[in-house]
């Protein structure tokens, strides 16, 4: 079954700690995306990547970093510079092309200890 | 720039009522339009899409028609069920994008009571 897998489902961060959220897809999609969702809010784009070894900042990239070393994987690191990291993080992927929808994982909920 | 505006929720309906969730957009080109649904604690699932003016997207009893003249893509369902309770997001993808960057509306929470 093809899809997007995010792990872990729940994650806790201590003060001053970096944490990494995993996102893996087996859909053979070129493009991948990370979004942040706060309670009762819409989605805000953190980073996106349209091809391996290339990625671009979205609207709220400060305090986050990504890598795209493999087509299947797009991990997101929430650094200690992100002062308000508590949120629901969603990863998505798509085929390139404006008619193509994005496919989403089930999300990771990050909280502060 | 592009933007999507949805009606604010929550929308509360009784089972079997008619549903309309309004969505209007502003875009520089000729976007594709999407509706996504998010159930509690889950990611977004594509509900339906339309790629050009006058197209109607439909799925699971939900429908939306791409209206270029009114820049709208309102979501409708003739008879809602309790299981339709979720948050619904309208989104657009601009034709000028090399990739598919989506612009999302703020989401509308639907609550259906038995």
Per-residue model confidence as pLDDT tens digits over A23-34: 999 999 999 999
Chain B hits for A92, Cβ within 8 Å: 43-44
How many CB atoms sit inside 10 A of residue B45's CB? 15
C-alpha distances (whole Å) from B93 to each of A95, B21, B108 are 13, 19, 19
Q: Could you tell me what percentage of chain B is helix, strand and coil, using 3-state DSSP and rounding each to the nearest 5?
A: 5, 50, 45
Least confident of A39-43, B83-87, B110-114: A39-43
pLDDT at B94 over 90: no
Please identify which residue in the block is written with the tokens 């699932």.
Answer: B45
pLDDT of residue B12: 97
Q: What is the mean pLDDT of residues A55-66?
A: 95
Please identify which residue in the block is written with the tokens 């009784």.
Answer: B14
Closest residue, chain A, to B93 (C-alpha): A98
Least confident of A63-67, B39-43, B71-75: B39-43
Residue among A4, A43, A97 whose CB faces B100 most closely: A97
């Amino acid at each position: 079954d093809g899809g997007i897998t995010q792990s872990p489902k729940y994650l806790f961060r201590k003060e001053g700690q970096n944490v990494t959220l995993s996102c893996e897809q087996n859909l053979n999609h070129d493009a991948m995306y990370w979004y942040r969702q706060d309670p009762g809010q819409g989605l805000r784009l953190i980073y996106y990547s349209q091809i391996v070894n290339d990625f671009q900042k979205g609207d709220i990239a400060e305090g986050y970093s990504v890598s795209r070393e493999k087509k299947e994987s797009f991990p997101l690191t929430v650094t200690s510079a992100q002062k308000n990291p508590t949120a629901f993080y969603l990863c998505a992927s798509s085929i390139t092309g404006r008619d193509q929808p994005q496919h989403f994982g089930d999300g990771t909920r990050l909280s502060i200890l | 720039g592009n933007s999507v505006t949805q009606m604010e929720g929550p929308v509360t309906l009784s089972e079997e009522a008619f549903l309309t969730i309004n969505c209007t957009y502003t875009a520089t080109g000729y976007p594709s339009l999407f509706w996504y649904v998010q159930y509690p604690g889950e990611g977004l699932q594509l509900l339906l899409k339309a790629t050009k003016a006058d197209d109607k997207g439909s799925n699971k009893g939900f429908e939306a028609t791409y209206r270029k003249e009114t820049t709208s893509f309102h979501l409708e369902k003739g008879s809602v069920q309790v299981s339709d309770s979720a948050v619904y997001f309208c989104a657009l993808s601009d034709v000028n994008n090399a990739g598919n960057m989506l612009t999302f509306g703020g989401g509308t929470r639907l609550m259906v009571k038995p």
